[in-house]
A and B are shown apart, each in its own frame.
Chain A
C-alpha cells in the first residue's frame, strides 16, 4: 500500500462517512420549506395559479417585493421598529434585573431573602395561560392595550434569568467585593463596575435568547396589540396572509421580508444561542 493511497483513504474517511447517506438528504429536506417559501416569492401571480405548481420559477421577478413594499397598508419599517422597540427594551431590562437580583441573592444574606428567591423560582412553574386573562384585564385598566408599553412593563422580571445569574454570581470572589468596599465604592458602583463586567458571557447568551423569544413572540402581542399601527412583525404577517388569501406570491414575498433578515442575523450568532439553550434547557 503506497503512502498516497493511505492518505486518500484518510481523506475519504474524513469526508465520507456512512452517516452522510442519511444526513445529507435529511438536511436537504429540512431546508425545503425555506426554499419553497423563497422560490414562491420570486414567481409571478400567473405562475402561482398554475396547476400543478412549478418548483423553480420560470422567470424570476422582483415585482412581488415591490408590491409588498409599496402597499400603504403594510409599512414594514414601522413594524420592524415596533418589534425592535419591544425586543430591545425587554432585553435591556431583563438583563439588568436578572444580573442585579442574581448578584443580590448570591452574595447577600438578608431576612426573607431565601424565601423570596424560592418564591421567584416557583413562579417559573406557572404556565402563561393562567395569568394571560387577568394580565390582559390589568393592562386594560391601566390603558396599556394597543400600547407597546403593555408588552414591556409586565416583562421586567425573568425568574429564570435571576436563577441563572445567581449561579454565575457565586463564582465572583467575595474578597474582590470586600476590597472594593474598603476602597470606598458604593454598593451600586460595585454591581456596576465589578459584578457586571464579570458576567459578560452570560449577559451575551441570555440577552440573545431573550431577544429571540421576544422577537418571535405571537400570542401575547396578538392579545395586547389589536390596532394596526402598534402591531409587531409576527402579527402583521398573519394579518397580511389572511388578507391575501390565495395570492401566495405576495404572502411569500412578505414572509421573506419579515423572516429572512433577522433569521440570517440569528444564524450568525447561532453558536451563542445554542450555548444558551444547552446551558439553560430553556424553551419558548
Chain B
C-alpha cells in the first residue's frame, strides 16, 4: 500500500469544512511555515525535488528560486486550476473535496515567495468547484487564516478565486495571466518569462493545483522525507486520473515508481481491463502526450518494465516512449479504434486553438478534416503521409505548446498504428461495419 500524502483524509466526512479539516491537523503546517524563514521554505521545496504536476515536470523549487525580487514591486503566486486536458480530472477531484488543502498550500507558497495577494485561476466550466473554493476562502477569512495579521504573526495575505471563461488555452501560463488581467486569453511570446514579468508586469509564479497542495506535506515533514518517496528524480506521490476501459477508473495517489503493469492490473489500483479484454494502447499523461501500444507501455524498448515516473515513461524518446504529463491515464482496450480516438483528440485541439499563430490555427483544423475524411471512408494512402507532414510542420513552430500538444498524438498514432489508418483507407465500405474491422485487424478472436 503506497503512502498517501494528499489524499490521506479525503474520505473523512465533512473534510470540505474548515472545522473538520482542522481536526485532521489542517493549517498546522501553515503555523509551522509562518515561524520559518521564507528562504528556508523555498529550500525545503528544492530539497524535496518536487516537479511541476501540471504536465511539463519542471522542478517547482527551481521555478520559485527564479522569481525576480525587485524592490517595491509586488509579486504574485497564481494557482493554475484551469485543468482542461482530456483525460485529466485530478485537480477537480481534489478541489471539490479538499479546498482547504489548496488554500493552505497557497498561503505557505505566498509566504515563501513574499506575495501579498495571490490568485486561483479556475476554469469556467467548474462553476460548482468555484463556489466550493469561495466558501472555503470565506471560512478561512472568518477564522483569521487569511486576511490581515494571519495567526497573530502580522503577515497580511489575500487570496482570490478567478473564474475563467472556459478555454483550454488559458491553462498555458502566459495565456492564463492575460486572461486573469481581463484580456483575451492569448499566450504571450516568451521571453520575458512570468518569473520576470507576469501578472500586471510583476514577477509571477504559476503552479498547478497539485504542486501547490504538495507543498503542505513537504513543509510538514521536511523536503528530505518527501524526496525519500519515489524513484530517482521523480520524487513524492502523484495523482493519476485513470479513465477508459478499466474496471476501476478514478483518481489514484501513487508513489512515483510503481510499475505501469501493476497500476493497470493490480486490485489496489485500476483492477485490470473492463470485461477482461486485452490492453491495446495507453495515453499515459493526458491527451497531448504520445499514445503507446500495449507492448511499449508495459515494457520499454530495451525490455525493462516501465514505471510510473517521469524518466521511465520518457525512456526511448518519442520513438518508443511518452511522457507522464499531467497524469491523465487513458486506457484503451482491444476494441478501440485508434483513428476514431485520434479524431476526437484532434477535434478538441481544433476547437481550442486560440488562433494567434498560423501553424496551429490552420493546421489543427486541417488535420481534423483529413481524419474525418478517412473515418468517412473517403481517405487515400497519401492522406496518411499528408497528416504526418502537417504535424511535423506544426510541432515546434508555434508560440505556445498547444501546437506540440496537437501534433504529438497524431505523430504517435501514425508511428505505432499506421496499419489501422491504412485499413480504413483500403476498406472504405467494410470499416462501416465494425465487426469486419475488428476481424481484419485480428483484434478480437470471438469476432473472427
Q: Are chains A and B native binding partners rather than an unrelated pairing?
A: no
Chain B residues within CB distance 8 Å of chain A: none
